[in-house]
Structure 1
Amino acid sequence: MRLIAAPPTVAVADFDYIDTSGEVKNQKAEHEARVAKFAELLRAKLSADGQFQVIPIECAEPPCTPINMQPQKFIDASHRSGARFVVYGGIHKMSTLIQNGDVELLDLETDKLLFKRTVTFRGDTDEAFRRAAVFVSDAVKEAMEKR
């Protein structure tokens, strides 16, 4: 009888969002929705083929991010989740058209940073965030596969 190993587990944290573009129009609600969707898409894409199991990070006061929780509390919560890996980061709106996303992947068993990348994407639309999430998920998957 052949046993099938469970897929490695990964927790995908909420993402922080900072807007220093100086635009007059208040887009806080739109940005909160887009950054939440970004994390949801990342979770869905990572779990889509069954190669990785995505599990939640729980915290007392969401969003569960290193900035909101303080870094050590975030790492502790990530360990408590039982995940092998944790993906986290933030998005920074630099101008009307340019956003930077910082994404990191930590191996929680070894406490080693496996992946750190800044991605730049153009646009402040749902589609721009979707494309960025797809790109990031592919890069993170590749980093976890190499472990």
Structure 2
Amino acid sequence: MRGCRALFVVAALMSPVAASQAEASSRTVAIADFQYIDTSGEARDQKADHASRLEAFMTALHRDLAASDMFRVVPLPCRPCVLTDGNAAKIAGMAQKAGAEFLLVGGIQKMSTLVQWAKVALIDLRTDEKVLERLYTFRGDNDEAWRNAESFISRQIIGLSSQ
């Protein structure tokens, strides 16, 4: 699937594709679980902290999109349901079978002690085109930094659909 491949190829901040591709006022979206990669090289094992924060991030993302008037979130049947190059078509098919018009995919990469990147793509499953593809950076690796990042990202996604 063209829209789902190479999610972690980080070259530059991508601008959104015209939102006119999605015309309905309430869109159905499936959200794949985001991947997390820590390439910071820090000595302290933070796997449990990151897993907990990623889980809270995903829960809040589901909640915030569902609470908006712009999206109706439909569940994917897998747990975890993480997109990879090898299962992109399968995940997209599951999303369509669940009634989703859009698939939200992404991942977070910790680059250093204080800098993390979140790559997010919203894919129109009817056209296999990206409606949104963005690279967000956020500072900090604590609960507050993760909450702020999720809140900003969800507002961006909701704002795109209201244009």
- 1:88 Cα shift? 0.9
1:52 and 2:71 equivalent? yes
CA 1:68–1:56: 2 relative to 1, 3 Å: farther
Question: Residue 110 and residue 145 in structure 1: after superposition, are their counterparts in 2 closer, same or farther (change >3 A)?
Answer: farther
Q: How many residues align?
A: 140
Greater fraction of residues in strand: 1
CA distance in 2 between partners of 1:133 and 1:22 (Å): 24
Query: Which of residues 130, 135, 142 is equivalent to 1:113?
Result: 130
The match for 2:105 is 88
The Cα shift of 1:69 comes to 6.2
CA distance in 2, matches of 1:69, 1:80: 19
Unaligned runs of 5+ in 2: 1-23
> 2:140 pairs with 123, 126, 133, which one?
123
Specify the alignment match of 1:39 in structure 2: 58
Q: TM-score, normalised by structure 1?
A: 0.87
| d(CA) in 2 for partners of 1:19, 1:31 | 9
1:75 maps to what in 2?
A: 92
2:25 and 2:162 in contact (8 A); partners too: no
Out of 17, 26, 31, the position equivalent to 2:36 is 17
Distance 1:94 1:28, change over 3 A: same
Looking at structure 2, the residues matched to 95 and 115 of structure 1 have their Cα atoms a distance apart, in angstroms, of 26
Write the distance in 2 (CA, Å) between the matches of 1:18 and 1:70: 18
Runs of 4+ that moved beyond 3 A? none
Q: Which amino acid aligns with 1:119?
A: Y
Measured in 1, the distance between the counterparts of 2:88 and 2:103 equals 13
**Is contact 2:68-2:158 (8 Å) kept?**
no
Q: Percent identity?
A: 44
Q: So what's the TM-score if we normalise by structure 2?
A: 0.79
